[in-house]
Structure 1
């Protein structure tokens, strides 16, 4: 099945994914779909660089465009699997709507960490070695027995507090993540949302909860930006 997995990953990359991984998700199994596939696409470097100052309309538009692209990627992956006799469920934006507490049945970043793409930073966002947090992510579930990639179970943030110190809402607790940790240990969700709404409205006039400063200042993100700008 390793070759089959690589064929699937090649398809996902052809649709725009830059990172792909497979995960054992059996403990979260939805109707017997115990294998997860995680994908990531990068946020353009110039868009991320601007976020250190303020959120922008271009970031809002990019955010929405990448979400649509991710839906297309995971749908193509699910179709690939179903065409070969497996069951598959694309975790599209429509299917994974957040509730009033910003919760979904299985967060995409849980898929990503278990699939080896990265860890959850002090920002409460996925951090990848290659792109930092300058990625958007999505997932699919399947019953295809894909060999899992090595999960990431501990933070690699060390003593860094760049995101914590830069958060305009003082919403980050500065705690090192480990697998299974509740979101509330890392993030004050209400403080984060209030700051996002305030900053976006001040910068663009839109009442939209987007900010991005925490991931823009991440040293892993900054390393990637330096390679691009």
Structure 2
């Protein structure tokens, strides 16, 4: 049966639609909202150089889908608008990690795969667009599709690119996930963020434990602790064992030292941040088999690393704890 409210909704002006989307996004927990026109990526050539330099390591999905990064139309045919959204993750102070435990990057603290948190929210925004125009197409993505999210988020006014490559926002710092809703309808773009507010600060570059930054804005992922402990398959080169310290999963150092994260507004909260994964017992890791790993971590970010990766990381952290005691 036809819902008369759909007729009323489809009669909204495009500006009114955008305002409804903005309000709904806020209700859903997003703390940043902006719109970029779906134009050809200006960062595509930088991506090609980054891959050619070998900085992507084993992340073959970049090269395998390379051409799609040229334009958002590579993700959604006929794409005309990119709605960029910021969703917060925990930003409180890190607790001291006791001996015998491994430290976990804060984005994983909630103990829930962030895709499972954010994707349903994106689907609700997509449904609003299709309700406004039943002939339209919309797709929500969060870091699993070939689109240079940070470029379009900067175009949409959500922030600027920091020297650690992450998007920075004066109120949010960098402790947020970037998500996008792609649509094949034209939407009025918001003002881009054209200024940078890093100044002469190089804390993120100077404090990186593995010296992973080639230069400001360029990361050699093959030296990055986050890459090594999450994406890398196989053994980790011994040169990185000591710098890994107690990081069992990921690394936050280049974010922790950033002044903008230290100034982050206390009004920004992450609703699902119950923090059960702030640290993990190395003894617990030792006792895991494939079945228990699946049962415990299937719906968490740890699943990406696989049991073999977590065991490998735990071995390094345990050794570092012994030599540091």
Question: What is the CA distance between 1:156 and its match in structure 2?
Answer: 2.4
**CA distance in 2: counterparts of 1:195 and 1:26, whole angstroms:** 30
* Corresponding position: 1:144 with 2:181: no
**CA distance in 2: counterparts of 1:168 and 1:190, whole angstroms:** 13
Residues 130-157 of structure 1 show CA distances to partners (whole Å, capped at 9, x for unaligned) of 1111111111100222110112245321
For the aligned residue pairs, the C-alpha RMSD in angstroms reads 3.0
Gaps of 5+ in 2: 1-13, 41-70, 230-240, 269-325
Cα gap change, 1:191 to 1:3, in 2 (>3 Å): same
Range 66-75 or range 212-221, more displaced: 66-75
Question: What is the CA distance between 1:187 and its match in structure 2?
Answer: 0.9
Cα gap change, 1:199 to 1:125, in 2 (>3 Å): farther
Would the aligned equivalents of 1:112 and 1:118 in 2 still touch at CA under 8 Å? yes
Give the corresponding residue for 1:21: 34
Equivalent pairs counted in the alignment come to: 206
Give the corresponding residue for 2:219: 187
Cα gap change, 1:36 to 1:195, in 2 (>3 Å): closer
Question: What is the CA distance between 1:107 and its match in structure 2?
Answer: 2.5
* Corresponding position: 1:38 with 2:50: no
Would the aligned equivalents of 1:90 and 1:141 in 2 still touch at CA under 8 Å? yes
Question: What is the CA distance between 1:174 and its match in structure 2?
Answer: 4.2
Give the corresponding residue for 2:132: 84
Gaps of 5+ in 1: 97-104, 178-185
Give the corresponding residue for 2:237: none
The structure with more radius of gyration:
2
Give TM-score, length-normalised by structure 2.
Answer: 0.56
Would the aligned equivalents of 2:106 and 2:252 in 1 still touch at CA under 8 Å? no
Give the corresponding residue for 2:291: none
**CA distance in 1: counterparts of 2:132 and 2:34, whole angstroms:** 19
Give secondary structure in 2 for the equivalent of 1:224.
coil
